[in-house]
Amino acid sequence: MEGLFWKSYQKFGELLRYLRHRERLTQRNLAATVGYSDAQINRLEKGLRKPDPIVIAARFVPALSLEGEPHVAERLVQLAHEEREPEDAR
């Protein structure tokens, strides 16, 4: 059942925002941890910036404490990949 909850998130930014709030991080806190500006985090959450799946796996997964939740980390990276694909390739 738990895996189904994470699959209900269809947009990278929505899941990122949920996970950030779950960890009680502000956009500024997360930005400082992953080496982004708070504006870049804001744009990721709003879908105005395409995520880099490699950076998401390397920096965001640890920053969001997802090492012990591989299914959640996998979903976040999967959504990052999907947002980088052209619409007609999906």
Average pLDDT over residues 49-69: 98
pLDDT of residue 5: 76
As a whole number, mean pLDDT of residues 21-31 equals 98
Calpha distance 74→43 (Å, rounded): 21
Q: CATH number, domain at 83?
A: 1.10.260.40
- Distance, CA of 7 to CA of 25 (rounded, Å): 22
What domain range is 24 assigned to?
Answer: 2-89
DSSP code, position 60: I
The pLDDT of 17-25, averaged and rounded, is 98
- The answer, yes or no, to whether residue 28 has pLDDT greater than 90, is yes
* Residues counted in the chain: 90
Question: Residue 53: pLDDT above 70?
Answer: yes
Count how many domains the chain has. Answer: 1
What span, in angstroms and rounded, lies between the C-alpha atoms of 62 and 42?
19
Lowest mean pLDDT among 32-36, 51-55, 59-63, 80-84: 80-84
